[in-house]
Amino acid sequence: MKDKANRTKPSKPVTLVLGGTGKTGRRVAERLVSRGVETRIASRSADPSFDWNDRSTWKATLEGVEAAYITYAPDLAIPGATEAIRGFVAMAVEQGVRRLVLLSGRGEQEAQACERIVQDAGVEWTVVRASWFNQNFSEGEFLGMVLDGAITLPAGDIPEPFVDADDIADVAVAALTENGHDGEIYEVTGPRMLTFADVAREISRAAGREVQFIQIPKEAFAGAIVESGAPKEIAWLLNYLFETVLNGRNAYVCDGVKRALGREPTDFSEFVDRVAASGMWKAAA
């Protein structure tokens, strides 16, 4: 039995990507594979299967893993995330994982509690603390609004330094594969701050058609989420983000991308030009 078990182990150390089909995880996995890194994408449909809500699936996913990129869907702020991260990190260390890279959020107490769990694990760690993603407008929650020509959200004039998911992935891959990132908290943002009205203007310019920003009351937004049939955790998260996080606490630019990669972060205008050129934002005929 021992020989059989040994034969099934990976031939070289594995880098695990949790959330490997998500906005950043997919990009991290692609970059690792292109570098020739033995990469395992964790998901419910993978083999072995991984489910955050089923701890019996974790051990097989961690077999042979040396480094892990940890993302928790939909967000570390969700109730129960801290307990899940604590359990997973403990099992990862027990299984021999030597390097952990955690995707975290800015200005979220719950996320910072998860950061401390990783920091206290006794292995190499890096925290990538990210602002709101540019890609929320191209492959995420707000894409439908952009296509409809109106970004309707309960956000006022408080700016946010939106960050590109490709920059996040580059930072995460550097932390997973290179030395020199142990013990670092990289707070990654874009190079400038934009309000949602600014975002709408940038998208309009690039897309060649008008996309408005319309501020709506928080109550109306919460009701619309419920009516849309969104899962309860998504509804809770969106309300939490607009009520608690987008209140000015994160209205500043950070140098995490520059510190990690030695280059400036991607500007939002570069992002919108790239997406517009792909045709993704063309209005429906």
Tokens representing 137 are 């407008």
Q: Which pTM does this prediction carry?
A: 0.92
Which comes out higher in pLDDT, residue 61 or 219?
61
pLDDT at 137 over 90: yes
Average pLDDT, the chain: 92
The model's pLDDT over 205-235, given as tens digits with 9 standing for 90+, comes to 999 999 999 999 888 888 888 787 878 787 8
Q: What is the mean pLDDT of residues 145-152?
A: 95
The model's pLDDT over 237-265, given as tens digits with 9 standing for 90+, comes to 888 888 777 889 999 999 999 999 999 99
Q: What is the mean pLDDT of residues 78-82?
A: 92
pLDDT at 177: 98
pLDDT band at 2 (very low <50, low <70, confident <90, very high): very low
pLDDT at 247: 87
Residue 112's contacts (CB-CB under 8 Å, 6 or more residues apart) are 104
Backbone angles phi, psi at 162, to 5 degrees: -50, 140
The model's pLDDT over 92-105, given as tens digits with 9 standing for 90+, comes to 999 999 999 999 99
pLDDT at 10: 60
pLDDT at 55 over 80: yes
| Cross-strand partners of 184 | 126
Strand ranges across the sheet with 184-188: 39-42, 14-18, 65-70, 99-105, 124-130, 184-188
Each domain of the chain, given as residue ranges in start order, spans: 2-278
Tokens representing 54 are 């089923």
* CA separation for the pair 23, 149 (Å, rounded): 23
pLDDT at 197: 97
Q: Lowest mean pLDDT of 2-11, 89-98, 181-190, 275-284, name the range.
A: 2-11
The model's pLDDT over 25-48, given as tens digits with 9 standing for 90+, comes to 999 999 999 999 999 999 998 999
User: SS3 for 67?
Assistant: strand
User: In percent, how much of the chain has pLDDT > 90?
Assistant: 76
Burial class for 195, CB neighbours closer than 10 Å (0-12, 13-18, 19+): middle
* CA separation for the pair 68, 70 (Å, rounded): 6
pLDDT at 7: 33
CATH architecture of 2-278: 3-Layer(aba) Sandwich (3.40)
Residue 129's contacts (CB-CB under 8 Å, 6 or more residues apart) are 104, 105, 106, 111, 115, 185, 186, 187, 188, 256
pLDDT at 8 over 70: no
The model's pLDDT over 125-135, given as tens digits with 9 standing for 90+, comes to 999 999 999 99
* CA separation for the pair 168, 170 (Å, rounded): 5
* CA separation for the pair 51, 188 (Å, rounded): 28
Which comes out higher in pLDDT, residue 90 or 3?
90
